[in-house]
Structure 1
Amino acid sequence: MADYIYTMEIRLTPDQQRGVALVQDIARAAGMNIYLTGGAVRDIISGFSIRDLDFTVQGNPLKLQKELERAGAVISSADEDFKTVYLRLPGSVRAEISMARTEQYEKAGKPPSISPATIIEDLRRRDFTFNAMALSLNPGSRGLLMDPFNGAADIEAKLIRVLHNYAFVEDPSRLIRASRFAARFHWPLEERTQQRFQSAKENNYIEYITARATGYEIEQLAYEEDPLHIVRVLEKEDWLKVLNPHWTTAKVDTAGLAQLMKMRQQMNELGYSPDPAP
């Protein structure tokens, strides 16, 4: 079995490593099983830049807020419905801690019904195979990779694959997310995923996207290393007008954005980690 803890430790920045230890210890002290999940695990395995830390606990993370603040974390916001805490760990490390949950969709675009779940059940409700992996941070299983949908194999093959047939119907924002990931990684959609993507697009399921999901996708643009490329791909797919009907790449200050990206690259080379969003 691959030593994923070793891989994690060499891939995370020192501040991110300290952030993992901080959250892990607080969750353990509260008697909660804790896992590193989602994009963090994907990026550790793929070698891409690790943008933030995603944790999943079997329990209610809202109960951890006071202890997190005592340890130096800053709580950005807390979502009572989805039982998720958004925070900044010491060293300006962005993170979120979510309750392991199932999601039941009754209607396209409507918020799902949430129930507490095991970590494996939680992985089943996710969007793409490469986001449906978890790395245990628990005593006795620390370093165990849970990958029930072979996300690591899809990373190796450089493919974007949805978990099930109705992924784009249940949550139409996944259409935009698929395009964003394809643009960021320069990976294609797997054949059946492409067919489902096209079908959902032709049936205009994007009209059911929620305001919450739209806001999230707009926010994610600020964290992209090459946002102009992402915006161009979204415009090509007709998703840019979904985010904002007045946005076009023709209105983007291309020269100014290029200068900003160059400055950020220079700061990275000097050892700084500028955060592109407040």
Structure 2
Amino acid sequence: MSRKVNVLIHPSIQNLYKNLSKNDLDVLQITIDIANKHGIILWAVGGMVRDTIQSNQTADLDLIVEKNIFPFVNAVNSVLKGIIKSEKDFGTASIITANTRIDFALPREEFYQRPASLPSVKVGATLQKDLQRRDFNVNAMALCLNNNQDIELHDYFEGISSLKKGNFKTLHPLSFQDDPTRIFRAARLSIFSQLLPNNKTRKEIDEFKNTIQRLSGKRLWNELSLIAERGKSAEVLLLLEQWNVLEKIHPNLKFSEKSYAILKQKIHPLQVENLIVIMLLPLDLDTGYAILKRLNAPKITLELLEDVRNLLQSNSRTDINDIEKLSHTSDASKKIAQWFDKSNQILIQNKIKKLEQTKLFLNAEDLLSLGISPGPDIGKILQVLREEQFFGRIQSKKQSYLFIKEYLSKK
């Protein structure tokens, strides 16, 4: 992976402000003002600080709250008017508005009872202990936002030093064993921040990647969702493939050149269902089903995969009965099918659209008025009429009546 590390800058509050969008800056200023009124100290942590040092615009609003987090979050939301999501056992809360998400957390420690388990949490730790529980050293720095007595960067784990070298490292040698989802985070961090795991961390990925097999389908689905939502999914998945990580989700999961080429053109965020279908289409059907089962994927993903396969297995000579079946496929499936086979799919989907727009000149009541008995013959005749209209052999109500008379005379 080619790297271009940005020039590092001093991690000050002023420089942090410069890397925020106007909307995020307004939200952060409101939050700081309310914290000051309540006598609460705030620290910017994680991506906010790392992006500031790297001169990158940040979309992360990730704050540590000194105390009284839930009353404080309620006070902030009384102004922001968003939706609050909180986990009281973990001491965390988020406010989600139409344009912004801001995450709050009490300083805490985490303990893992076994590999790949969710952690036990002890709320009320020191700032240093909180930073020590994080995934990588470049994400384990903090900058106080509203205390003139605390103006220095908190960097206990050589985060600045790693950024200067263009790399990052774990905070302890069993980090990936405790939480193998950090391997997926390592890939995203590598792509988005143009950093590489240092040699020791790269060896740890190799050593503990088998632990991914212990993760639940739900947790794997969540990691793939983050890859889909944040863009650059082609690059992230290719890196995971190069690290031999995808095969730990399922032994037959491969990231094909075709899938890479399609996703490379889709830098914007995708729905996770679309991402997974794009990954699975080049694989055989049984493998696709097995991977969806491993991920505990929702039914809509299976339906999407089958719809796209049906579209791609069709051709421009597909008869009207098959076109009728294809007309029930979703817009998402039609779009993905075009990404895989544009020229053929344009022809097929134009036929689908034409069939959908074909309105019969006659209906069942018209046929009954001609003396045709109620029953299955009515449906069969309407289907024949639709086919004749679709191919342009009937172009008026009068021609429809003439066709029926001739059709019935031959029976």
What is the TM-score normalised by the length of structure 2?
0.56
Amino acid at match of 2:223: E
User: How many Å apart are 1:205 and its aligned residue?
Assistant: 1.5
| Counterpart check, 1:176 vs 2:184 | yes
Given that 1:225 and 1:261 are in contact with CA atoms closer than 8 Å, whether structure 2 keeps it comes out as yes
Aligned match of 1:166: 174
- Sequence identity (%): 25
Are the equivalent residues in 1 in contact too, given 2:45–2:141 (CA < 8 A)?
Answer: yes
Aligned equivalents of 2:169, 2:195: Cα separation in 1: 10
3-state secondary structure, aligned to 1:35? strand
- State the partner residue of 2:45: 37
Equivalent position to 2:163, from 123, 144, 155: 155
What stretches of structure 1 of length at least 5 have no aligned partner?
263-278
Q: 1:259 to 1:130 in 2, by over 3 A?
A: closer
Corresponding residue number in structure 1 for 2:234: 228
Return the offset for 1:249: 4.1
Mapping of residues 106-117 of structure 1, within 5 Å? 106-115=113-122, 116-117=124-125
Which gives a bigger RCO, structure 1 or 2 (Cα 8 Å, sep 6+)? 1
Partner SS state of residue 95, structure 1? strand
- Tell me the CA shift for residue 87 of structure 1: 2.2
Question: Which amino acid is the alignment partner of residue 166 of structure 1?
Answer: L
Count matched residues. Answer: 259
Which deviations, in whole Å up to 9, do the C-alpha atoms of 1:6-48 show, x marking residues without a partner?
2112222222221211222333433332111011111111123
2:211 matched residue in structure 1 = 205
Task: Name the one with the larger strand percent.
Answer: 1
Q: Name the larger-Rg structure.
A: 2
Q: Deviations over 1:48-88 (max 9, x none)?
A: 33122111112252333322221124125222332221223
Cα separation, 2, equivalents of 1:86 and 1:40: 16
Q: 1:245 to 1:96 in 2, by over 3 A?
A: farther
Query: Which SS does the other structure have where 1:56 is aligned?
Result: strand
Q: Secondary structure at the match of 1:111?
A: coil
Distance (Å, rounded) in 2 between the aligned partners of 1:260 and 1:127: 26
Q: Which amino acid aligns with 1:5?
A: I
Range with greater deviation from structure 2 (164-173 or 234-243)? 234-243
Give the structure with the larger helix fraction: 2
Change (3 A) 1:65 1:261: closer
What pairs with 1:9-28 in structure 2 (closer than 5 Å)?
Answer: 9-28=17-36
* Cα root mean square deviation, aligned: 2.9
2:88 aligns to what?
80
- Please report the TM-score for the alignment, with normalisation by the length of structure 1: 0.81
> Alignment partner for residue 69 of structure 1, among 72, 77, 94?
77
Q: Choose which of 133, 136, 141 in structure 2 pairs with 1:133.
A: 141
Query: 5+ residue gaps in structure 2?
Result: 1-8, 270-411
1:194 offset after TM fit, Å? 1.6
* Amino acid aligned to 1:21: Q
Alignment check: 8 A CA contact 2:77 2:95 kept: no
